[in-house]
A and B are shown apart, each in its own frame.
Chain A
Amino acid sequence: MRFVPIWQRHFLVWRKMAATSILGHLADPLIYMLGLGFGLGSMLPQMGGTSYLVFLSAGTVCYSTMNSASFEALYSCFARMHEQRTWDAILNTPVTLDDIVLSEVVWATSKSLMSGLAVLAVIWLMGLSHSALSLWLIPLSLLVGVCFSALGLIMTALAPSYSFFMYYFTLVITPTILLSGVFFPVTQLPPSLQIVSAILPLSHAVDIARPLMNGIVPPSLLLHIAVLLGYTVFGFYVSLVLFRKRLSR
């Protein structure tokens, strides 16, 4: 439990700028969701028995959670490790590097949960989902958050500078959003890209979220959870090895 005081530290920093942070959680995903939902939605037929806006809302919860986890695990974590040397200060106390890495995962997950909750709150307020099953999107946000936090830390452990993160966002995150069924069904993609989609963690998250939003228990639920957990364990393990190597210099 030695990661708890570090989590408290991050929370105290967050509390000082909570207003801007919450705005950030809400503004970007909502602009996309409502803009595309109403704009494109008015020209589109129903999708899978729901309006385009409802279709989009499930994907928005997943990708905004992913974005939030990724930003925290890359930019903010890198600032603490490299620029502010917060990690160096903490390492001089009876806290180990493993505790710090764990605290970063838990904190980035906490932030992404806030992001997921913010979007979900708007969805419920707008009456886009009436099913009690949609409550399961809260633990799902947690799972998506921990998964992309752990994966993002691999990049942070490798990064020489902030500009390095551009590769990850441009070459990994953006294609992931487009290939994971956030904005349109994966079945619209050519078969070769559908195979790529099937291995991306976000598409498994969307496959859980969308049925739940419509009050249906997702098919192959355990498989999707297992994939997300698998990526989490992989990300955490690899980043830990890389951080140990990086900080032992």
Chain B
Amino acid sequence: MKLLAIRLSWQKTPAKSLVMWQTAFYKMMSTVIHAQNLQKSYAGVRVVDGLNLDIQRGECYGLLGPNGAGKTTTLRLLLGLIEPDSGELSLLNHAVPHQAREARVRVGVVPQMDNLDPDFTVAENLLVYGRYFGMQDAEIEARLPMLLEFANLTHKRDAKIPTLSGGMKRRLTLARALVNDPDVIFLDEPTTGLDPQARHLIWQRLRELTAQGKTLLLTTHFMDEAERLCHRLAILDQGRMIAQASPQALIAQHIEPQVVEVFGERVAEWAQQQAAQFSQRFEVSGETAFCYVADAQPLLTHLHGHQALRYLHRPANLEDVFLKLTGREMRE
């Protein structure tokens, strides 16, 4: 519609229209993932409810949300694996789900649950997977050393999958998603279940991919992961997007800059009587009171006089935003 409107104005002001044309064209070309008013229900429950997304080339975009927020369903919709009830979708300028198969030629996917072929070696897994993209064996074999290097698995080339550690399997799954040299990579909870060393290595690799200009769309419920990796992120809850911005902007927009966590046996009593006096906002969860403040000094001075209470003073982070927006109650 926009392009049409520009075309109509062409006759009046050709030079200006040309610039507008170009801007609209480049925006279209650089939009890798586009979703408009996406809806999906299962058995009457809206799992994805009016979602809008515009993800640009080279961006690392995060989908955050508690369990059941609709993150995985969103990824499956974008890949064309399930059909939306309504809404418009495109992936790499292919309409989805209609042309999803064509789009997936240029996409790599790291699924939430490992589904490597247990009967094959590391190298065989990559070879067999590359064939699904219509690649020739020689073409895949030429990429193997680079992929194994990227996954730190060169020494495990001929190892069987059941002998690999969780971190190695995850890295192999990531390498497998790169076998076709994709433009876009979908990662569904890429570091869930990994130890800190393994997570850091995955993060390093994902940053390298972003540096190469790949577009990443990842879901996670690790706030530190989202804060470190994502240029922009969206917080989803019950299928709706409740916030979207860069991690820093989300923190600045939604929450006071400093947090004082106060712990102790009688913290609930203290909070009820005193916390409101010293903080803009506070929440009590178990034996901890979270006090959100612009200036922490008066509160800290006050706490010095309380021997029974201990505290931690820190800058506000994404987890504070997340808990504020999605609430503290359990989602199961």
Give A102-159 interface residues, CB cut-off 8 Å to B: none
Q: A248–B41 Cα gap in the complex (Å)?
A: 12
**Do A16 and B132 touch (CB < 8 A)?**
no
**Do B81 and A249 touch (CB < 8 A)?**
no
**Do A88 and B115 touch (CB < 8 A)?**
yes
Does chain B have a CB within 8 A of A196?
Answer: no
- The contact of B119 among A5, A16, A92, A247, by CB within 8 Å, is A16
Does chain B have a CB within 8 A of A96?
Answer: yes
Which residue of chain B is the closest to A80 with respect to CB atoms? B117
**Residues of chain B lying within 8 A (CB to CB) of residue A85:** 111, 113, 115
**Do B82 and A248 touch (CB < 8 A)?**
yes
Does chain A have a CB within 8 A of B42?
Answer: yes
**Residues of chain A lying within 8 A (CB to CB) of residue B113:** 85, 88
Which residue of chain B is the closest to A92 with respect to CB atoms? B109
Q: What count of chain B residues pass the 8 Å CB interface test?
A: 27
Describe A's contact surface by its main secondary structure: helix
**Residues of chain A lying within 8 A (CB to CB) of residue B132:** 5-6, 90, 93-95
Q: What count of chain A residues pass the 8 Å CB interface test?
A: 23
Known: A12-B124, A94-B104, A248-B83. A89 touches B129 (CB 8 A): yes
- The contact of A94 among B81, B111, B120, B134, by CB within 8 Å, is B134
**Residues of chain B lying within 8 A (CB to CB) of residue A12:** 120, 124, 128
Q: A90–B131 Cα gap in the complex (Å)?
A: 10
A206 to chain B, nearest CB (A): 35
Give B109-162 interface residues, CB cut-off 8 Å to A: 109, 111, 113, 115-120, 124, 128-129, 131-134
Q: A96–B105 Cα gap in the complex (Å)?
A: 12
Question: C-beta contact mask, A226-249 vs B, less than 8 Å → 1, else 0?
Answer: 000000000000000000000111
Does chain A have a CB within 8 A of B101?
Answer: yes
**Residues of chain A lying within 8 A (CB to CB) of residue B208:** none
Does chain A have a CB within 8 A of B265?
Answer: no
Choose among A2, A8, A91, A248 the residue with the greatest number of B CB atoms under 10 Å from its CB.
A91
Query: How many A-B contacts at CB < 8 Å in the complex?
Result: 62
Describe B's contact surface by its main secondary structure: loop
Does chain A have a CB within 8 A of B79?
Answer: yes
**Residues of chain A lying within 8 A (CB to CB) of residue B81:** 91-92, 247
Which residue of chain B is the closest to A91 with respect to CB atoms? B81
**Do A13 and B119 touch (CB < 8 A)?**
yes
Q: A5–B136 Cα gap in the complex (Å)?
A: 10
Q: A248–B107 Cα gap in the complex (Å)?
A: 20
Q: A247–B105 Cα gap in the complex (Å)?
A: 21
Question: C-beta contact mask, A60-84 vs B, less than 8 Å → 1, else 0?
Answer: 0000000000000000000000001
**Residues of chain A lying within 8 A (CB to CB) of residue B42:** 249
Known: A5-B132, A94-B105. A88 touches B119 (CB 8 A): no
**Do B83 and A93 touch (CB < 8 A)?**
no
Known: A94-B104, A94-B134, A249-B42. A84 touches B115 (CB 8 A): yes
Q: A91–B42 Cα gap in the complex (Å)?
A: 21
Q: A21–B245 Cα gap in the complex (Å)?
A: 56
28 A-B pairs in the complex with CB atoms less than 8 angstroms apart: A2-B134, A5-B128, A5-B132, A8-B128, A8-B131, A9-B117, A9-B128, A9-B131, A12-B124, A13-B117, A13-B119, A13-B120, A84-B115, A84-B117, A84-B118, A85-B115, A86-B115, A89-B115, A90-B132, A92-B81, A93-B133, A93-B180, A94-B101, A94-B102, A94-B104, A94-B132, A96-B101, A248-B83
When A and B form their complex, which 9 residue pairs have the shortest distance between CB atoms, in order from nearest?
A85-B115, A5-B131, A93-B132, A92-B109, A89-B115, A13-B119, A94-B104, A94-B105, A9-B128
